[in-house]
Chain A
Amino acid sequence: MRFIQLTKGDIRFQYKYGFYFLYLIFSLLYISVAYVLPRDWRQTAVLAMVFTDPAALGLFFMGAIILYEKSERVLDALAVSPVKVSEYVASKLFSIGLISSLAALLIAVSSCLSFQPFYFISAVFMGSCLFSSFGLMLAAKSSTLNEFILSTIPFQIAINLPALAYLFGWQPVWLLIHPGASMIELMVAGRYRWPAFAVLLVSSGLACYLAYKVIRKMFSTLGGAKL
């Protein structure tokens, strides 16, 4: 119940601060770009756009969300409330995952991408949880926006480069160990979709667990005292 309330609060917050509006605008932009491109390129381009933007939005925005909550003392209030750290982390990941999935679905449907909804949504949602978990970990350790933005760069490179290489045709089977490549394979519902599903599930689950540990530590040191 608390998880639902927290998620509702997060969705309201994200709506108020324009996330839904922003992703509506960007989705329309991506759809327009998809139609301008030659038909042969469309599938690859749409997958690249979905992978690098809506799916990865948690890595971009989590810093601002957490730093704002720190400065407004929201976290201090939550720390002394019955809310569990796991519920806090889950609500953040779920609410961001929802925007990612909605935007990705809108782009995919409107640009006539051939896709299987279950695999596509699973890939985007789990990928979003992976990106957002890294965002949460980095945000917990940052004190300014610039510091957060810079700290995300190595993660963006580490996740994006192998995945984009996979998308653009370099597809050795062993590369599916990489969660980004698995996400691409699952989005297109390729031959190895079930191993890719397993890799993505395990890696995003592990990232969520690590994010939980980092946030729990952050909550226990709020206000300068160690609880």
Chain B
Amino acid sequence: MKAILSSFRVFIRQIVRDDMLWAVCLAPVLAGLFFRFAVPAADRWLAQTLDGELLLADYYLLFDLMLNLMTPYMFCFAAAMVMLTEYDENIAVYMAITPVGKTGYIISRLLMPGILSVPAGMLATGIFSLTDWPIGRLIIVSLLSSLLSLAVALLVVSFSSNRVEGMALAKLSGLMMMGLPVPFFIVSNHQYWFSVLPSFWIARLGVGQNDLYAVPAAITSVIWILILYRKFERKLSG
């Protein structure tokens, strides 16, 4: 445990040195401020200009979900970038044969940021949300968002053989978030084409106000994580 904590301290030191820690903490706050104040103001201005009703009010929940997902995504993105650099410089493979071990490396680089991102996501959504969130649902959605972000980080690191591929995959991994707007814009059964994406089920949970959707959201996330983890472990073994 001491070795894992020490490895986690190295990770934190690295993102502090890059100023990434500030970005990880600041980005959800800036996005939250924008969603909380600029979006309703723009909506009111549009309604006045067009002499109509509020256009964006139906999508306030989507903004909340985006904010909730963005917080762990930022944590895990920073972790993925650190791991890519460590892999390119062969540090990751060396770490696996130190007392930290492969499992310790994964815990310190992935699991710990993932766990920390849960309260961070809850806090950001709790403070800046545009809709009402029962505490139970906030906890469930934050946990699911964190699980999904872990899958994204694993996808970026597992399938890239260097940081150039990693950046390409980081961009491509944005598609994993594509499920969020689907239930808001596609009302027919065609929306289930996106059911392999955990983000789709997270959005269904929000739209349907039904916590049972947490089950498929968790199952799809876990399946993604298991598939990607196997590949990631093989990669760490060199």
- B-contacting residues of A (Cβ < 8 Å)? 13, 17-19, 22, 25-26, 29, 36, 60-61, 63-65, 67-68, 71, 144-147, 149-150, 153
Q: Which residues of A contact B185 (CB under 8 A)?
A: 36
Scan B154-180; emit 1 where CB is below 8 A from any A CB, else 0. 000000001111111101100100000
- Decide if B165 touches A146 in the complex (CB within 8 Å): no
A64-B166, A146-B82 known; A71 and B18 CB under 8 Å? no
CA distance A64 to B163 in the complex (A): 6
Is B14's beta carbon under 8 Å from chain A?
yes
- Decide if B164 touches A64 in the complex (CB within 8 Å): yes
Interface of B is mostly: helix
Known contacts A17-B164, A36-B185, A68-B162; can you find 20 more A-B pairs with CB under 8 A? A18-B165, A18-B172, A22-B168, A22-B172, A26-B171, A29-B175, A60-B167, A61-B167, A63-B167, A64-B164, A64-B167, A67-B85, A145-B81, A145-B85, A145-B163, A146-B18, A146-B81, A147-B20, A150-B20, A153-B23
A67 contact from B18, B78, B163, B175, Cβ within 8 A: B163
Closest 8 CB pairs of A and B: A146-B18, A64-B167, A146-B20, A145-B81, A147-B18, A64-B164, A18-B168, A17-B164
Give the interface residue-count category, chain B.
20 to 34
- Decide if B19 touches A150 in the complex (CB within 8 Å): yes
CA distance A18 to B89 in the complex (A): 21
- A-contacting residues of B (Cβ < 8 Å)? 14-15, 18-20, 23, 78, 81-82, 84-85, 88-89, 162-169, 171-172, 175, 185
